[in-house]
């Protein structure tokens, strides 16, 4: 009965998409299997992947629901045994458009057959003033994903690995929102003020040094002085001669 309800729901969604003209643009996997609705508790595990790990779904979903309730950011995990005509990355990106159209969330797809992970996230850039409150800039999301994967031991069993990864993701986004909401510490504001004052002082000192260098004689432009042209007749071989000329004789017979 549950499977029948699932197929009926998928058929209804598929029919609505066809009537609205979007059926032709659906990717192959979604066209074949229908567009599933976002999981109510953050985890979609139709194959029973976590059945052997008692309580894993609850341990994963609790921090995910808390993250959404406190910060408006949604994280969905979809577990599939085998993906045909698509892969984890493509399916995550496709589900991101249907499950988190406002960009205020993240879709994680895990293919258990080959332990392949896919992340769907908003790649339009940092949120603008009209974006949802839970939106996260692209570079921050990439950093959180990288740190979460580095903090997860790859040698764990598949069930434990996914549980640890989702917990690290929830912690990473929660820390980001808490830091974003926290006021700037007073010490940080003082450091910023001191940095601005220091930069202005350096600029003023540089201007003073440049002005002093310009005023140095070696740096100043050399001046050329020329004798003025004087309109006087030549006298005694001097082109500009003039004035009184006296002759003095010395020696024997000079009469001096």
SS (H, E, C) 3-21: HHHHHHHHHHHHHHHHHCC
- DSSP 3-state of 77: strand
- From 28, 37, 29, select the one nearest 9 (Cα to Cα): 37
The pLDDT assigned to 26 comes to: 55
Euclidean distance between CA atoms 127 and 137, whole angstroms: 6
Q: Residue 22 carries which DSSP code?
A: -
Q: What is the pLDDT of residue 95?
A: 92
For 187, the enclosing helix (H) or strand (E) is helix 186-215
Highest mean pLDDT among 46-60, 127-141, 153-167: 153-167
Q: What percent of the chain has pLDDT over 70?
A: 66
pLDDT tens string 26-41 = 566 777 777 889 998 9
pLDDT (0 to 100) of residue 222: 65
- Is the pLDDT reported for residue 44 higher than 90? yes
Instruction: Specify the range with the lowest mean pLDDT, choosing from 115-119, 208-212, 243-247.
Output: 243-247
For the stretch 170-189, pLDDT in tens is 999 999 999 988 876 666 66
Beta strands in the chain (DSSP E): 43-44, 74-80, 105-111, 116-120
- Containing 94, the helix (H) or strand (E) segment is helix 88-99
* Over residues 210-234, mean pLDDT: 67
Q: Give 106's pLDDT tier (boundaries 50, 70, 90).
A: very high
pLDDT value, residue 228: 73
Q: Return the pLDDT at 14.
A: 38
pLDDT for 23 beyond 60:
no
pLDDT greater than 50 at residue 12: no
pLDDT of residue 63: 95
Identify each DSSP E strand in 84-242 by its residue range. 105-111, 116-120
Q: Does 89 score more than 50 pLDDT?
A: yes
Q: Does pLDDT of 241 surpass 60?
A: no
The HSE-up count of residue 149 (CA atoms within 13 Å, CB side) is 10
Can you give the pLDDT at residue 121? 72
Q: Which pLDDT score, from 0 to 100, does residue 141 have? A: 92
């Amino acid at each position: 009965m549950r499977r029948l309800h699932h197929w009926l729901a998928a058929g209804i969604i598929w029919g609505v998409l066809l009537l609205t003209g979007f059926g032709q643009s659906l990717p192959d996997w979604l066209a074949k299997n229908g567009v599933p609705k976002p999981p109510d508790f953050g985890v979609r595990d139709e194959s029973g992947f976590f059945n052997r790990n008692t309580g894993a779904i609850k341990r994963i979903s609790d921090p995910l629901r808390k993250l959404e309730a406190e910060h408006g950011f949604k994280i969905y995990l979809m577990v599939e045994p085998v993906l045909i005509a698509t892969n984890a990355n493509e399916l995550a990106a496709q589900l991101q458009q249907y499950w988190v159209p406002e960009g205020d969330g993240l879709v994680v797809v895990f293919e258990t057959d080959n332990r392949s992970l896919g992340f769907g996230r908003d790649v339009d850039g940092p949120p603008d003033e009209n974006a949802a409150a839970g939106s996260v800039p692209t570079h921050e999301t990439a950093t959180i994903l990288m740190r979460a994967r580095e903090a997860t031991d790859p040698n764990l069993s598949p069930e434990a690995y996914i549980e640890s990864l989702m917990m690290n993701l929830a912690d990473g986004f929660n820390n980001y929102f808490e830091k974003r909401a926290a006021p700037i510490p007073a010490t940080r504001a003082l450091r910023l003020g001191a940095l601005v004052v220091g930069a202005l002082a350096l600029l003023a000192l540089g201007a003073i040094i440049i002005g002093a260098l310009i005023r140095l004689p070696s740096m100043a432009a050399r001046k050329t002085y020329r004798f003025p042209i004087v309109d006087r007749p030549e006298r005694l071989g001097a082109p500009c001669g003039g004035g009184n000329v006296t002759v003095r004789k010395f020696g024997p017979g000079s009469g001096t």
